[in-house]
Amino acid sequence: MAYKITLIEIMAVFLMIAMYTVLLAKLDLIENAERLINGYRLHFNNTQIPDKNCSFVPPTEPTIILRIDDIQAGAYTSISKRIINDILVRNMTVSLAVIPKDIGKDKNIKSFLISVRDKIEMAPHGYTSVENEFENLTKDEADILLKKAYKELYVNFDTMPITFIPPNNVYSSGTVNASRNNGFSIISGPDEYRVEKNIAFLGFDVATYDYQYNKFITNQEVINKCKDALVEKNFCVIMIHPQDFIGDEERYKSFTELLDSLNIPSLRFKNFKDFITCEE
């Protein structure tokens, strides 16, 4: 007796073919995506960091540079986004000290930074930003970490940083030499202002929190420090750490009041990179 194929069996065969076709398409898509990602990484690895003749041009108008440290994966995300948004909504800008390690793995902070990258500056804050990470490094040791840091910001945010912000504001002479070889024109560390061999050292002038005495600095103290800096060099760098404001709405309100006090017609808000001009 001949076996008759039922309609259900025919449909099952067509379903299996369809599922197999979808699976092949998915595998092809994954392969193409991996090829694209690997090609992008290969493009970065084969692309030399631009060798440019850059110079520092001091601001011609009284200028405030807001510097927010410790932007990173897996920590302080909500408060970091809140501070950045409150700065941008006032038509100000900000230089972000981004900890590069694993920054691309945190979809929340990564997508946010991509959404605002045209309004801000991103600068590597070390690589892992462990305490005093760059304090005692040789040129070769610093070179390895700076290349990793540069790559993370380039691959994840399509940005080519020219400012380096060392963890704890400390760095070695080897770090300075390695910075020159990795496309950096600015180092923002401790309270300092000088230009040496195409590197501008633009340290912070005042912070919103005093870690030595474990206390907030009043808005008036910040303003007074900035007034002194503006008289001396026509710009003031204010260092901010987002974690200082976690769970303290009163202090955060005071911070927004500081922003409003500084947001006056006679002051300009710029980033570090705005004062670097380069020749290809």
Give one DSSP letter per residue of 172-188, joined into a string: -HHHHHHHHTTT--EE-
Structure tokens at 43: 């493009």
Q: For residues 120 and 87, give the distance between their C-alpha atoms in angstroms, rounded to a whole number.
A: 10
- Average pLDDT on 61-90 reads 98
Q: List Cβ<8 Å contacts ≥24 apart for 75-80.
A: 75/243, 76/242, 76/243, 76/246, 77/106, 77/108, 77/109, 77/112, 79/242, 79/243, 79/245, 79/246, 80/109, 80/242
Structure tokens at 176: 């300075």
pTM listed for this prediction: 0.83
> Does residue 27 have a pLDDT over 50?
no
- Residue 54: the pLDDT is 85
Instruction: Name, in order, each residue with C-beta under 8 angstroms of 251's C-beta and a sequence gap of 6 or more.
Output: 216, 244, 245
**Percentage with pLDDT > 70 across the chain:** 81
Q: For residues 242 and 219, give the distance between their C-alpha atoms in angstroms, rounded to a whole number.
A: 16
- Residue 279: the pLDDT is 76
Q: What digits encode the pLDDT tens for the residues 78-112?
A: 999 999 999 999 999 999 999 999 999 999 999 99
- Residue 43: the pLDDT is 46
- Residue 47: the pLDDT is 44
Longest CA pairwise span in the chain (Å) = 104
Average pLDDT, the chain: 89
> Does residue 20 have a pLDDT over 70?
no
Q: Are strands 199-202 and 206-207 parallel, antiparallel or unpaired?
A: unpaired
- Residue 19: the pLDDT is 66
> Does residue 55 have a pLDDT over 70?
yes
3-state secondary structure of 207: strand
